Amino acid sequence: MPWQFFHEIGRKIIHITILIVLVLFFAIKNQAGQQVALLFLVGLLIFFLVLEYFRLELNFKLPFFHQFIRPKEQYRVYGVIFFFSSTIIAFAVFDTAIALAALLMTTFGDVAAAIAGKKYGTTLLFKNKTVVGFASELVTNLIVAVLISLAFTINIYIPIIMAFVATITETLVDELDDNLIVPIVSGFVGQLLIFLV
């Protein structure tokens, strides 16, 4: 059990490195515009697709990263592919505040749910998701919601609703990749609310 917990922490640290990509995206966007920044993300996506080609098609074990792949991901596309795909879609389709809220909720909410759920979760809520993991993710997503509403002067109710949508979506999916489903669904709801409010 301790190895599983530390293994999960290692996976989540890699997950958080996506923040570096978001910083680079905004830096490029400020200097060269949205399209160039999106092309940068597509370039990274292609890079990881090439790595996945070597891993899945040629059975090449990638040093370091191989140890963080879950058994169910052994023969499936790794989550980073889905996260880059959802990041590209989010920034291409949603307002910046909505895209950022959706992506940060996906990143930090997932980290909070996984670590708290594995460490302290005993009561199952749905499939392998625990009450503690759900609560930890919801609190984390609500914090992200408040920060986004302050940073972008967006109606506070929109990111709060997104926080609930992201948490519920994360809880309900197991086989589908949450790195794609959570930001797309929560971002879609947030963008609809922007139009309606």
Convert the pLDDT of each residue in 8-54 to its tens digit. 555 556 667 788 899 999 999 999 999 999 999 999 999 999 988 99
Mean pLDDT over residues 76-97, rounded? 93
Q: Whole domain around residue 149: which residue ranges? A: 2-196
Residue 191 has pLDDT above 70, yes or no: yes
Which is nearest to 196 in space by CA: 155, 144, 142? 155
Confidence of residue 141 (pLDDT cuts 50, 70, 90): very high
Report the pLDDT value the prediction gives residue 76, as an integer from 0 to 100.
82
Task: Provide the domain count of the chain.
Answer: 1
pLDDT, average across residues 124-143: 91
Residue 100 has pLDDT above 90, yes or no: yes
pLDDT at 13: 63
Closest listed residue to residue 87, CA positions, set 137, 136, 29: 29
Residue corresponding to tokens 């959802």: 86
Mean pLDDT score of the chain: 88
Residue 119 has pLDDT above 70, yes or no: yes
How far from chain centre, in Å, is Cα 21?
A: 12
Contact between 82 and 107 under an 8 Å Cβ cutoff? The reply is no
Burial call 111-125: b when 16+ CB within 10 Å, e when fewer: bbbbbbbbeebeeee
Q: Quote the pLDDT of residue 1.
A: 46
**pTM for this entry:** 0.87
- Quick one: pLDDT band at residue 193, thresholds 50, 70, 90? very high
DSSP one-letter code for 109: I
Q: How much is the pLDDT for 125?
A: 83
CA nearest 170: which of 160, 155, 185? 185
Query: Which two three-digit tokens encode residue 34?
Result: 């949205």
Report, as an integer, the average pLDDT of 155-159.
Answer: 96
